[in-house]
Structure 1
Amino acid sequence: MRFSVYQESHIGGRKTNQDRMGYSFTRDALLLLLADGMGGHLQGEVAATIAMQTVGALFQQSANPYVKKPERFLEDSFFAAHREIHRYRAINNLPETPRTTIVACLIQHNTAFWAHCGDSRLYWLRDGQILARTRDHSRIETLIAQGRADPSERATHPDRNKLFNCLGAPNMPIVEISRRASLQAGDVMLLCSDGLWGVLPDHVLAQRLQNNTIVRAVPELISTATGIGGKHGDNVTALAMMWESGSSVTDPNTITTNVLPVGTITTTIQSPRAADLEPGDSFDENEIEKAIEEIRGAIEKSSRITSRN
């Protein structure tokens, strides 16, 4: 694999930064990960950290040197992170469970897979065009899908900040998995929190990433969004990856993984503490199967409610 990657986060106008981001890679697999702790709930930054640690640790266990079942891995690791957040609440006897949104992208064999819960987004861009974008799990997106709100109301609707899906909620999360995406040289994957996309339109994100390398574009986007948000602005976080072909001109920021020794894992994701992730506890197969059945039931129930409306 050959790619360049850049990440940056700014606290904005908030007292704390509840966004978390990071990436890990082996010779044959790359994981991009971003979580946005929900500020309306207790210790959102803790939920985001636990989610990052859990998914990151499971990637390190599973990528030998690539993940055998990528879609299953994304779903299972999100469920595991959800349970770890609830276990943190129980251990610390908190009055409520911390919550976080999350988006992840797994790339291997020239193919990308991604998953998300909430409104942290992923954009797949090529030549300045957005090929795909995650759909926010929010009230306003549901209203737009039902024809009860116009897309132009995304930035102004009173329910625009209401989410129905996240990690840490009382119910199991709905993990939305992408279709498989075949990458070409020059493709960009952008993961970002709502502090970025909430103030910058999609076409601005696409234009900036087309006109500059990600090493230049991401800091410019962060700076612009922070300036617009001002003293009351949200945390602003972005993680971008540009895919490169084997014949592309060598760039000092390019990572070439085929030179890595077998078994090597490089990561910017903080390792979990023993209390945060215990072997055999957070990734038990029976629990995963039960969780999958629960989530399928939740999706079916949600579909019935939507059809009645």
Structure 2
Amino acid sequence: MKFSVFQLSRRGARARNEDRIGYCYTREACLLVLADGMGGHAAGDVAAQIALNSVCALFQARATPLLDDAPGFLAEALLHAHRQILRHAQQHHLADAPRTTLVVALLQQGQAWWIHCGDSRLYLARAGALLARTRDHSFRAMAERSGQPPASVNRNLLFTCLGSPSLPISDQAGPWPLARGDRLLLCSDGLWDALGETELLALLAHDPVSLCVPRLVDRALQHTGASSDNVSAIALEWEMPGAQSAPDSISTDALEGDAFESTLQLDAPDLPEPAPPVPALPEDELSEAAIERTIAEINAAIRRPGERRR
């Protein structure tokens, strides 16, 4: 499995960055995650961090090195993150649980699946043309689909999210067969709301993703200026096995057994060092307690000094 991946998050004009992004992979599967903590509720950044860590920890436990049921895993991961946020609120005696959006993409066996809740988006593009995009779980998007005037509806008002009292509503897609050069982009609304779809796809279409992502983020910040939201994006370019690789590509062929790699990005510009590999859990140790221990290990690894990488 070969791919190029790059992620970037900027605070913009907000007092704090409540977006969280990261990716992790085994020899045969790769996971991309983006969560946008909801600023209208307390500790949105905490909810986003819990969602990121919970999904990555579950991936580490389940992908050994392949997932048997990709759609089932994505549904389980989203609900697991939701429960972890509610548990955090209960343990800390919070009157209202923190809340976040979530979008997760899974790649294995040359195919892609994804799940999302809220208005953080996923774009799948080929040669600059849009193949697929998630549909926002917002009242404005609902009004647009039903033919109502969208201007009268607040774009930021969501009808579902993680951390809410009711079970989150989510949409899934896949499997989508991937061709060499296909690009996946996961982004927060701070990016897609600032850029039209034509501009977004044009910026995503050319040059390595290590150049595309900074350009997308910078352009969004330029467009919105002093009113900028947090802007976060993670993009992946798929490369066929055996094909000539991009200079900054990742090949998982050298990973052995159930080896696991992760790069979790917290805040910008003062980012803690990303997490080094965390040992995989034994197959028979998949309890809630085991997953909690894995989350704690990832949190500790994030804080541990080491060589910085994107």
2:124 is aligned to 124
2:114 is aligned to 114
2:87 is aligned to 87
- Give the AA of the match of 1:213: P
Comparing 192-201 and 258-267, the one that deviates more: 258-267
* Structure-1-length-normalised TM-score: 0.85
Measure, in 1, the Cα distance between the counterparts of 2:174 and 2:146: 23
Question: What SS does structure 1 have at the residue aligned with 2:57?
Answer: helix
Measure, in 2, the Cα distance between the counterparts of 1:48 and 1:209: 25
Measure, in 1, the Cα distance between the counterparts of 2:175 and 2:245: 28
Question: What SS does structure 2 have at the residue aligned with 1:186?
Answer: coil
Q: Does 1:281 align with 2:276?
A: no
- Give the AA of the match of 1:175: S
Measure, in 2, the Cα distance between the counterparts of 1:161 and 1:246: 41
Structure whose residues are more often helix by fraction: 1
- Check whether the contact 1:23–1:268 (CA below 8 A) recurs between aligned residues: yes
1:167 is aligned to 162
1:32 is aligned to 32
Residues 1-309 of structure 1 mapped to structure 2, 5 A cutoff: 1-149=1-149, 153=150, 157-269=152-264, 280-281=287-288
Unaligned runs of 5+ in 2: 265-273, 276-284, 292-310
Question: What SS does structure 2 have at the residue aligned with 1:258?
Answer: coil
Question: What SS does structure 2 have at the residue aligned with 1:4?
Answer: strand
What do the CA deviations read for 1:144-174 (whole angstroms, capped 9, x no partner)? 111113xxx5xx5542111001100010001
Question: What SS does structure 1 have at the residue aligned with 2:122?
Answer: strand
Question: What SS does structure 1 have at the residue aligned with 2:253?
Answer: helix
Unaligned runs of 5+ in 1: 272-277, 285-309
- Check whether the contact 2:2–2:245 (CA below 8 A) recurs between aligned residues: no
Question: What SS does structure 2 have at the residue aligned with 1:251?
Answer: coil
Measured after TM superposition, the shift of residue 180 of structure 1 is 1.2
What do the CA deviations read for 1:111-155 (whole angstroms, capped 9, x no partner)? 100000000000000010010000000001111111113xxx5xx
Measure, in 2, the Cα distance between the counterparts of 1:261 and 1:280: 24
What do the CA deviations read for 1:213-258 (whole angstroms, capped 9, x no partner)? 2111110111111122212210000000000122432332111111
CA RMSD in angstroms, aligned pairs only: 1.7
Residue identity (%): 43
Q: Which runs of at least 4 in structure 1 moved beyond 4 Å after TM superposition?
A: none
2:307 is aligned to none
- Check whether the contact 2:61–2:286 (CA below 8 A) recurs between aligned residues: no
Measure, in 2, the Cα distance between the counterparts of 1:179 and 1:73: 13
Comparing 70-79 and 241-250, the one that deviates more: 241-250
Measure, in 2, the Cα distance between the counterparts of 1:179 and 1:263: 24
Measured after TM superposition, the shift of residue 179 of structure 1 is 2.7
* Structure-2-length-normalised TM-score: 0.85
